[in-house]
Amino acid sequence: MNKVKSVLFVAGVSLALAFTFSCSGDSGGGGTEISSSSTNENGTVKKDHISGFSQKGPFMKGSTAVLYELDDKFVQTGRSFRDIIADDKGSFDIKINVELVSPYAMLEADGYYRNEVTGKPSTGTIKLYAIADIREKSNVNVNILTHLEYYRVQKLVEEGKSLKDAKKQAQEEILSIFGISGEFENSEDMSIFGTTEGDAALLAISVLLQGELSEGKFVERLTDFRLGFRETGIWDSKTAKNTMADWAAEASLGSIRNNILGWNLSSAVPDFEKFVRDYWYANYGLGVCDDSLQNGLKKSNRGVVYICQSNAWAVATEYESDTYQWVCVEGEIKDGQASGKKYICKNNAWKIATIYERDTYQWVCVEGEIKVGQVSGNNKYICKNNAWATATGYEIDTYQWVCVEGEIKDGQASGKKYICKSGAWVIATGYEIDTYQWVCTEGEIKTGQASGKKYICKNSAWAIATEYEIDTYQWVCTEGEIKDGQASGKKYICKNNAWAIATEAEVQVGICSKEGEIKAGQASGKKYVCKYETWRIASYKDIVCFEEKNCNYFTDARDNQRYAYVVIGEQTWMAENLNYNASGSKCHNNEPANCNPYGRLYNWVIAMGIDAKYEEEEWSGSDVKHEGICPTGWHLPSNEEWQELVDFVGTNVGKKLKTTSGWPNKGRESGNGTDDYGFSAWPSGGYYGSGFSGGGSVEWWSSSENGAYDTYSRLMNDLSHLNRYSRDKGSYLFSVRCVQD
């Protein structure tokens, strides 16, 4: 027998999941075909073939079925016979046509199978085994039951039982593990496509063992089963049994049935569902659910309450679980047994208790009394008209207060400030709180008692003090004096006997009182010119023409603005940017003060004085002496005229044309120029579609187009160059320098 044991153990390292069907019909149903075999007096058997079905779900086309010859001691003789499964039903027909030494044979199925739980082909191969007495049959199915009993049969035969008795006992022990009892056909005669109780038991066990496991985990489960079951006929893995029951309790058995029917291999599926349900019912300690228990409740050993409906256990609703076996006493409040929710007995039925009902449970109502909710701990209730109601914040804050006109008190709960006015408590305004009990002395400034705001007494009433009033409080105004605001730190200047915010220029050079006067800032060194009683940054024209009296200039008849000009080579150029206020033009950063030194910024069509449609169309006009918005006798320079200027100036054109001040440094090097020709290029910046550039460059338009959307410009932003660029006509705004006709 030890030899038998070692031979048969080959199945122990393989996944044993091949079902085998034993009927000869197309559906793969159960049954036993009468064999055309013969048995000789010496015990040998002559067989033509052995056929059947290999099933977990059906083994797939290309799988193999092998019959191993056994002697009368159940030891392999070394002879085997093989067939390739050629259909989707898992059927095989192994040709023998030789005399076998005994009526005993072992069958093996190996390959991929259809998973009845997922409905899909397996992702790995498995092996299943069966052992059978083939003297009276030529059909032997290989399935999960033949495989599970295989190892136990081996042990029982070793202990002296006949193969028939061993197979019967092993089958009963397996079925018992799954809570199934009854008289069933041999395991090798069962089929998942059959209609008998045995067929249903087979499919139920296959489904339970498979569950949601992968092939690898499924093999581990079968191995665990084999190791425990072989020796004792018992499988005591409580964890695995509970896991199967938990899966079965949630599984969609209807979907599994549909998966099997969807293979279109058989129109019949046995009633496996009842065995699956009975298994998890028993595992959960619920027992039978029949008509006698209709709508009955029972708590499982998982602590969950189930209800028996339509002969099936289902998870009870939260309400059913919470109030399980409660007696309803009117007005009583209890904690739900499952959820912990609060329930109240009203009108002989348990209902969810409201916060109000829980908070005021068993309270006696005394008119006007305020109490804290028993459950919420935050809600306040007041007894009004013999009933408890949620107290308002006002009622809580002023509870039992006596109202003294004008008095301010802190709310007892919220801390809000209340004031007694006209015999009633009302929320005090911030003003009332800040100025409470103040005496008003005209012009006096005080800090609010709560907010810290500043108030001033004006016209015998307290009012919020402005920043100006706070900054200049009690100052004496001496004409031209500059002082720092007492609160904000802003600079103020005394002008015309009143304090006013000082401009940057006023901080640097004082009051602007003499028209045309030019002064240098004390800190910045910038030069300012006094115009219309306002200091402005002095332009080249202001400094050279009107202070040093050392330039030529002309007057634009349109707005009487005076422009300096210089002769450079054969060209006469304006010595400053155009400042004509054409519609659509802008001052840099939209600050009017920037237009005086830098001139205005224009898009190309405004500078050209042509229709706006040419922002997106080619103008195709002549760029020769095109006046645009330049004064009469002057015109917008063409690209060629700009180049003539560059060629004349020669190297370091940027440095030679820049002003001697006003430009930012380039690293450690000064950004200012030498202004050799009086061109006086200021860093007036530009507008580049989405915003203004900084003050480190200047860009001028030319009258020369570059296609439908662009035109040429000249950009100066370093010491050496006056570069040509192609720019969008409509969205960019640049300066204009006019050249004389």
Query: Tens digit of pLDDT for each residue in 526-576?
Result: 778 786 577 877 765 666 666 666 678 899 999 999 899 999 999 999 999
What percent of the chain has pLDDT above 90? 63
Element (H, E) at 6: helix 2-8
| Assigned domain for 506 exists | no
Query: Distance (Å, rounded) from C-alpha 536 to C-alpha 517?
Result: 11
For residue 547, what pLDDT is reported?
62
In 3D space, the residue among 7, 207, 243, 18 whose CA is nearest the CA of residue 116 turns out to be 207
What pLDDT digit, counting tens, does each position of 497-514 carry?
999 998 888 888 888 888
| Assigned domain for 270 exists | yes
Query: What stretches of 611-735 adopt beta strand conformation (E)?
Result: 634-635, 687-688, 698-706, 710-716, 723-728, 732-733
| Assigned domain for 464 exists | no
Identify which of 202-206, 346-350, 478-482, 686-690 has the greatest average pLDDT.
202-206
Token digits of residue 515: 């028209």
- Location of structure tokens 């015109």: 635
Question: According to DSSP H, which parts of 178-214 are helical?
Answer: 197-210
What pLDDT digit, counting tens, does each position of 196-206 carry?
999 999 999 99
In 3D space, the residue among 4, 17, 230, 231 whose CA is nearest the CA of residue 106 turns out to be 4
| Assigned domain for 266 exists | yes
Q: Which residues pair with 483 in a beta bridge?
A: 492
Contacts of residue 506, defined as CB under 8 A and 6 or more positions apart, other chains included, come to 482, 491, 493, 512, 535
For residue 142, what pLDDT is reported?
97
Q: Which residues pair with 381 in a beta bridge?
A: 371, 390
For residue 549, what pLDDT is reported?
62
Last residue of a domain, one of 238, 265, 283: 283
Angle among Cα 651, 657, 658 to the nearest 5 degrees reads 120
Q: How far is CA 193 from CA 127, 178, 255, 715, in A?
A: 20, 20, 16, 89
For residue 144, what pLDDT is reported?
97
What pLDDT digit, counting tens, does each position of 630-644 carry?
999 999 999 999 999
For residue 611, what pLDDT is reported?
93
Q: Residue 196 is part of which domain span?
A: 2-283
Last residue of a domain, one of 262, 283, 304: 283
For residue 532, what pLDDT is reported?
59
- Sorting pLDDT into bands at 50, 70 and 90, what band is 36? low
| Assigned domain for 298 exists | no
Least confident span in 8-17, 355-364, 458-467, 717-726: 8-17
Average pLDDT, the chain: 88
| Assigned domain for 361 exists | no
- Location of structure tokens 């008289």: 183
| Assigned domain for 688 exists | yes
In 3D space, the residue among 337, 293, 298 whose CA is nearest the CA of residue 315 turns out to be 298
Q: What is the DSSP letter of 114?
A: B
| Assigned domain for 72 exists | yes
Query: Distance (Å, rounded) from C-alpha 29 to C-alpha 197?
Result: 12
Distance linking the first and last C-alpha atoms of the chain: 125
**Number of domains present in the structure of the chain:** 2
CB under 8 Å, gap of 24 or more: what pairs does 347-356 form? 350/319, 350/322, 350/323, 350/326, 355/379, 356/381, 356/388, 356/390
In 3D space, the residue among 71, 61, 74 whose CA is nearest the CA of residue 99 turns out to be 71
Burial zone of 632 (CB within 10 Å; 0-12 exposed, 13-18 middle, 19+ buried): exposed
Last residue of a domain, one of 243, 260, 283: 283
φ and ψ at 350, to 5 degrees?
Answer: -80, 130
Residue 35 in this model has a pLDDT that exceeds 60? no
For residue 18, what pLDDT is reported?
32
